[in-house]
């Protein structure tokens, strides 16, 4: 791929991670960036990711071959008319938003369909900002590309190759099919997670017993409630109709479970849970999920004695395995071990499990 000039409008977690990964895979690429927070631009200049930082979106972006819109969905849409009078012929504008219909409608209104190719990297984190960006965030993540009928085939092919340079796996989808799919697998889960946390917050007493006891399963299924509220406000409103449709269907599912519990129908509940378990267990594990980075972790039993945790840390360190986090589990919801060890990458899980088992530890992995 020839030497490129790239533009980034928005340099937070996702924009910063794409920029870092492309800088790593294509060292000669020239990157121009704008971000509301000057701190992010300073950091990106200091670490060598960005060549030119801008105070505003202006002619500084006129030489860019590709411009990434990496702000909230509504702000990405508002940026299209600004860019229309700036970009050079042949420039590709892409976004990283979780909703596609609205921005395609604006591109069509402006006559920019041939230069706009929507994108959606299905990776993320509960953390935000450029300081949390990583050149590995998109590695093996699905990165959806949504060319329209008017997108030149050579531009769509170019974007697929550029996505591969980030370490992600490109997947091509129709924009409206994308929005229907993400309403179910990404947007609805975030609404549920936020709602569940607020429900427990309201139900908890002054002593905060529920918050103190919350662990394991509750934290797993509500982890995404730590994502950016501003971003999810924008996503929910932009994808309103598909999201409302799946919320209605989800209400029906909850009502079905409610009725079964109310009438004491154990056979129905067992089948209800088994069907979900089978579908969940059959999901692929190689790609990263949407809206939050995957967790690479193991659980193991340790003796309640001085130095037990230190021994595990030493064993892993001696084998060059970096630990991201280590914690005691106070609630064995899955009858797993009481020590939870989190790693930076999937390969470390297998390597650590093998080594710890050789030292006599019982190791449990959650797939």
Q: What is the mean pLDDT of the chain?
A: 87
Q: List strand residue ranges (DSSP E) for 13-110, in order.
A: 30-34, 52-54, 66-69, 92-95
Which tens digits make up the pLDDT trace of 332-363? 444 445 788 888 888 889 999 999 999 988 88
pLDDT tens digits along 133-176: 888 888 888 899 999 889 999 999 999 999 999 999 999 999 88
Q: pLDDT tens digit string along 88-125?
A: 999 999 999 989 999 999 999 999 999 999 999 988 76
Residue 35: CB partners within 8 Å, gap ≥ 6?
Answer: 8, 9, 10, 11, 12, 15, 41, 130
12 Cβ contact list (under 8 Å, min separation 6): 35, 40, 70, 128, 129, 130, 133
Read off the pLDDT of each residue in 222-231 and give the average, rounded to a whole number. Answer: 84
Q: What is the pLDDT of residues 249-283, one digit of tens each?
A: 999 999 999 999 999 999 999 999 999 998 888 77
Q: Return the residue matching tokens 């569940």.
A: 196
Overall average pLDDT of the 231-247 stretch: 90
Q: What's the pLDDT band for 285 if we cut at 50, 70, 90? A: low
**What Cα–Cα distance (Å) separates residue 81 from each residue in 78, 116, 288?**
7, 12, 33
Domains of the chain, earliest start first: 5-174 (3.40.50.720), 178-281 (1.10.3660.10), 296-365 (3.30.70.260)
The overall longest dimension of the chain from CA atoms, in Å, is 69
pLDDT of residue 291: 44
Nearest alpha carbon to residue 365 among 350, 344, 355: 350
323 Cα distance to chain centroid? 21
């Amino acid at each position: 791929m020839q030497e490129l000039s790239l533009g980034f409008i928005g340099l937070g977690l996702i924009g910063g991670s794409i920029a870092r990964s492309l800088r790593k895979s294509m060292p000669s690429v020239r990157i121009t960036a704008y971000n509301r927070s000057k701190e992010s631009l300073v950091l990106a200049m200091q670490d060598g990711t960005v060549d030119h930082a801008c105070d505003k979106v202006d002619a500084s972006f006129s030489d860019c071959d590709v411009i990434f819109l990496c702000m909230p969905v509504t702000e990405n849409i508002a940026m299209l008319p600004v860019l229309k009078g700036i970009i050079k012929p042949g420039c590709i504008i892409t976004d990283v938003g979780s909703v596609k219909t609205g921005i395609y409608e604006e591109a069509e209104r402006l006559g920019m369909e041939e230069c706009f190719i929507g994108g959606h990297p299905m990776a993320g984190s509960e953390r935000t900002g450029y300081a949390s960006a990583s050149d590995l965030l998109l590695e093996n993540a699905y990165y959806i590309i949504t060319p329209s009928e008017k997108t030149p085939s050579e531009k769509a092919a170019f974007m697929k190759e550029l996505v591969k340079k980030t370490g992600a796996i490109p997947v091509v989808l129709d924009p409206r099919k994308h929005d229907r799919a993400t309403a179910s697998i990404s947007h609805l889960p975030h609404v549920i997670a936020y709602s569940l946390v607020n429900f427990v917050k309201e139900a908890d007493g002054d002593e905060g017993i529920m918050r103190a006891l919350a662990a394991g399963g509750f934290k797993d299924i509500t982890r995404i409630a730590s994502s950016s509220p501003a971003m999810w406000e924008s996503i929910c409103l932009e994808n309103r109709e598909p999201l409302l449709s799946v919320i209605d269907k989800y209400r029906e599912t909850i009502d079905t479970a409610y009725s079964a519990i109310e009438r004491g129908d154990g056979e129905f509940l067992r089948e209800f849970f088994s069907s979900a378990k089978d579908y969940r267990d059959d999901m692929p594990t190689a790609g990263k999920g949407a809206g939050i980075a995957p967790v690479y972790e193991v659980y193991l039993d340790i003796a309640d004695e001085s130095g037990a945790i230190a021994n595990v840390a030493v064993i892993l360190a001696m084998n060059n395995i970096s630990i991201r986090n280590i914690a005691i589990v106070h609630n064995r919801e899955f009858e797993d071990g009481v020590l939870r060890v989190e790693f930076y990458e999937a390969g470390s899980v297998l390597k650590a499990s093998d080594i710890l088992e050789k030292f006599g530890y019982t190791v449990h992995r959650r797939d």
